[in-house]
Amino acid sequence: MLKGIPNIISPQLMYVLMSMGHGDELVLADGNFPAASIAEETAFGLVRCDGHGIPELLRAIMKFFPLDIYVNEPFALMKVVEGDKNVKDEPPIWAEYLKITKTSKKKFELVERSAFYGRAKKAFAIVATGEKALYANIILRKGVVSGES
């Protein structure tokens, strides 16, 4: 155990965060995401964070994880499938992500479902959570840690 690291960050997740380089992407997957099968194609694989929601996990990760400032959209969300009767408006969890990451709506990319899955296969790792909100999947693109950080 170390000081200052939130309990929600497991040793495996900390290892992944430390191993990532600039431009690598991390997927935080909701409970409906096919995390195990897609993670087989990623560089690191699957990190289990069952029982945790993405907002609480994202809050903890953002203490250590710089978003990429060299791209217009340092994180991506899965676009709502057209005609999905389960979602009437923009998923409320998206507004929560903007607050947590301290970014504007202009800083996230909406990615069509199958393209999101394809991008997730190229990610460094996938973190499987117990998040129940629909369309809660998020891809974070790692930035650089400067000498001042």
The residue ranges of every structural domain in the chain are 22-141
Catalytic residue from among 22, 24, 52, 70:
22
Q: What is the DSSP letter of 113?
A: H
Sheet strands side by side (includes 75-78): 45-49, 125-129, 25-29, 138-141, 75-78, 108-111
Q: Please indicate whether residue 117 is annotated as part of the active site.
A: yes
Domain 22-141, classified CATH 1.10.357.10, yes or no: no
Q: Please indicate whether residue 68 is annotated as part of the active site.
A: yes
Catalytic residue from among 68, 84, 89, 97:
68
Q: Please indicate whether residue 52 is annotated as part of the active site.
A: no
Helical ranges in 1-149 per DSSP H: 11-19, 35-39, 54-61, 92-101, 113-121
Question: Is the whole model's pTM more than 0.75, yes or no?
Answer: yes
Helical ranges in 20-109 per DSSP H: 35-39, 54-61, 92-101
- From first to last of its 149 residues, the chain has per-residue pLDDT tens of 789 999 999 999 999 999 999 999 999 999 999 999 999 999 999 999 999 999 999 999 999 999 999 999 999 999 999 999 999 889 999 999 999 999 888 889 999 999 999 999 999 999 999 999 999 999 999 999 987 65
